[in-house]
Chain A
Amino acid sequence: MTNNQTNTKAVVVKDLVKKFGDFVANDHLSFAVDKGEIFGFLGANGAGKTTAIKILCGLSHPTSGDVKIAGYDIYKQRDLIKKNIGYMSQKFSLYDDLSIAENIRFYGGIYGLSRKKIKEKTEEYIEKLGLQAYTKSMVKELPLGFKQKLAFSVAIVHDPPIVFLDEPTGGVDPITRRQFWELIYKEAANGKTIFVTTHYMDEAEYCDRVSIMVDGRIEALDEPKKLKETYGAQSMEEVFIQLARG
């Protein structure tokens, strides 16, 4: 791994192995994600996606292998990694019984943002997401779509260069889902790296590159277009089913 490479790569994974007892959840994963890329991380249930994401976010240690996130080493610089990533999952969300501003203040506070900055962010988000009507409401009163978009914004309140999104759009209506992806595109255009998992195969098409995991290994990794060519498939869904059914 040269210095040159780490400068242009947001995520570099080399021979990552994670075992639970005899079970190999991640079997020698190697891949790299460019800065500003939207990287789709797909796989069947139990293929090892969640395990890998936990390692990349610094929540769990790999059994062996090298991982660098935003140029920081996963073993030695976990604290720095945590400052440089945003994370949002379907389950993790906002505090239901706090208002929008209180949620932003809390997460901003966690990342040590100044009071002024938090205030700016709060105004910016309310404006950007069209939440003016809800400034006094508790988050639980927001429609799901707004909640999801707010959760994403809160996840990047500290302006991290890399964002991990774990099934961010599960169960969301089709219009909101697309608005959500427009948000993702916007952040990617601003230079953020987006690392995303999803069960919606049409969303795989929105990614710059996609990896597909089967039984702990990455079976395919390429641009959606090239994957479809390689596997002679009409859609990403076909590619996925061909691979996952083996």
Chain B
Amino acid sequence: MIQIQNVHKSFGNIQALKGISLEIAEGELFGFIGPDGAGKTTLFRVLVSLLVPDEGKATVMDLDVVNDYKKLRTQLGYMPGRFSLYQDLTVEENLNFFAGIFKTTLKENYELIKPIYQQIEPFKKRRAGALSGGMKQKLALSCALIHKPKVLFLDEPTTGVDAVSRKEFWEMLQSLKKQGITIVVSTPYMEEAALCDRIALIQKGELLDIDKPQNIINRYSHFLYGIKAERMYDLVKILRENTHCNSAYLFGEYVHFSSNTELDMDKLKAELISTGMENVEVISLQANIEDSFMDLMAKTNNQA
């Protein structure tokens, strides 16, 4: 469905993409996971034919993003990072406009967008600018879907949207996927990775890893412990001094402490108590995507 081969892109001195290669299969829900400035938006713009790569080649549905861009543009759906809506038009007018530029109508494709549009239909006379973040996001998705694209590019659709709307949004993506639409999505929220079929971890214009989320997690090579105590900030500092420490990071209510060797948890707890820590709790943990990401990030940083 999508093939990317050794794509490079620079803006002035800044290398935004440093040789990205990957393939995405038809019907996949594929996620690019990485922080701001990792190159996600640049890559998306290359794929939707808005930017020409300096080097390398990319095809979407066997159409070259540079040479066949006119044909490609009729077939893809794109939702840029900021919800690109006309703030001064109503919900309905926005939809009709975007339907119009793709030479279709709201009626014709109502079935496809119905599950999403129904949630905002009560507000169809309201101006887009007056909608909440979650509703804007739904409207933008409806607009991107209105011409029944075979492939959908969503650039950070959940950034700045609260946890509830984010959850609902991913539920919508799952149901779109069932209809056979290939979905490529990017997000800075690591926990959303688990919801994708496959993910690519991206950082500073380079891919750290591409695989099913579970496989990436399985490759995590350290022993991981969750540790909790009264003074978390001091706890992190003490753990970093520990001889077995590979990394120690705040992680929700626990500190995630990774080590290259398996540790005796009771002994670790006793050690911590002896440094004056109170209410110490040590548990063994399974890594999650965020642990993997930080580990891969640290490794590439060390190589550099």
A and B touch in the complex (CB under 8 A): yes
Q: Which residues of A contact B (CB under 8 A)?
A: 43-47, 143-144, 167, 170-176, 178, 181-182, 185-186, 188-189, 199-202, 205-206, 224-225, 235-237, 240-241, 244-245
Residue among A173, A176, A178 making CB contact with B250, cutoff 8 Å: A178
**Inter-chain contact A45/B132, CB cutoff 8 Å:** yes
Considering the chains assembled together, what is the distance between the CA atoms of A241 and B170 in angstroms? Answer: 14
Chain B contact residues: helix, strand, loop or mixed:
mixed
- Residues on the A chain within 8 Å of B133, using CB: 45-46
- Other than the known A44-B162, A175-B297, what 13 A-B pairs have Cβ atoms closer than 8 Å? A43-B162, A44-B134, A45-B132, A45-B160, A45-B162, A173-B36, A174-B293, A174-B297, A176-B35, A188-B233, A189-B233, A240-B164, A245-B164
Q: Which residue of B lies closest to A184 (CB)?
A: B233
**A201: B residues at CB distance < 8 A:** 163
Using Cβ atoms and an 8 Å threshold, which residues of chain B touch A144?
35-37
Which B residues touch A186, using CB under 8 A? 233
Contact A199 B161 (CB under 8 A): yes
Interface string of B162-197 (1 = CB under 8 A from A): 111101000000000000000000001110000000
Q: Which residues of A contact B283 (CB under 8 A)?
A: none
Interchain CB contact under 8 A, B251 and A173: no
Contact A241 B163 (CB under 8 A): yes
A173 touches B236 (CB 8 A): no
Q: Which listed residue (A47, A205, A244) contacts B253, Cβ 8 A?
A: A205
Residues of A within 8 A of B163 (CB): 44, 199, 201, 237, 240-241, 244
Any A CB within 8 A of the CB of B31: no
Q: A144-B37, A244-B164 are in contact. Are A178 and B159 (CB under 8 A)?
A: no
B94 located at the interface, meaning its Cβ lies under 8 Å from any Cβ of chain A in the complex: no
Q: Which residue of B lies closest to A45 (CB)?
A: B133
CB distance from A141 to the nearest CB of B (A): 9
Q: Which residues of A contact B134 (CB under 8 A)?
A: 44-46
Chain B residues near A245 (CB-CB < 8 A): 164
**Interface SS of chain A:** helix
A-B complex: 4 closest residue pairs judged by Cβ atoms: A173-B35, A185-B233, A45-B133, A171-B36
Chain A residue at smallest Cβ distance from B189: A200
Q: In the complex, which residues of chain B have a beta carbon less than 8 angstroms from the beta carbon of A185?
A: 232-233
By a CB distance below 8 angstroms, the chain A residues around B189 are 200
User: Is B203 an interface residue, CB under 8 A from the partner?
Assistant: yes
30 A–B contacts, CB within 8 A, in A order: A43-B162, A44-B163, A44-B164, A45-B134, A45-B160, A45-B165, A143-B37, A144-B35, A144-B36, A167-B160, A170-B160, A171-B35, A171-B36, A173-B36, A173-B38, A173-B203, A174-B249, A174-B297, A175-B249, A176-B35, A178-B249, A182-B250, A185-B232, A189-B231, A224-B253, A235-B252, A237-B163, A241-B164, A241-B167, A244-B163
In the bound complex, what is the Cα–Cα distance between A66 and B165 (angstroms)? 33
Contacts of A171 in B (CB 8 A): 35-36, 159, 188
Q: Using CB atoms, name the residue of chain A closest to B167.
A: A241
Contact of A172 among B36, B231, B251 (CB under 8 A): B36
Supposing A44-B134, A45-B165, A200-B189 touch, asked if A175 and B252 sit within 8 A by C-beta, the answer is no
| B298 interface contact, C-beta 8 A | yes
Which B residues are in CB contact (< 8 Å) with A172? 35-36, 188
When distances are taken between beta carbons in the complex, the residues of chain A under 8 Å from B159 are 170-171
Given contacts A44-B164, A244-B162, A244-B163, contact A225 B233 (CB under 8 A): no
A178 to B247, CA, bound (A): 12
CB distance from A137 to the nearest CB of B (A): 12
Q: Choose from B188, B231, B252 the contact partner of A202 (Cβ within 8 Å).
A: B252
Q: How far is the CA of A225 from the CA of B230 in the complex (A)?
A: 12
Output the least CB separation between B167 and chain A (Å). 6
Q: Which residues of A contact B38 (CB under 8 A)?
A: 173
Inter-chain contacts of B298 with A (CB < 8 A): 175
- Asked whether A173 and B34 contact (CB < 8 A) given A46-B132, A186-B233, the answer is yes
Chain A, residue nearest B254 (CB): A205
Closest chain B residue to A173, Cβ basis: B35
Q: Answer yes or no: B265 CB below 8 A from chain A CBs.
A: no
How far apart sit A245 and B159, CA to CA, in the bound complex (Å)?
19
Write out, one digit per residue, whether chain B residues 127-159 have a CB within 8 A of any chain A CB (1) or not (0). 000001110000000000000000000000001
CB distance from B163 to the nearest CB of A (A): 5
A-side contacts of B188, CB under 8 Å: 170-173
Residues of A within 8 A of B36 (CB): 144, 171-173
**CA of A170 to CA of B163 in the docked complex: distance in angstroms?**
13
Bound: A7/B203 CA distance, A: 47
Q: Which of B224-250 contact A (CB under 8 A)?
A: 231-233, 236, 249-250
A170-B159, A174-B190 as given contacts; A205 in contact with B164, CB under 8 Å: no
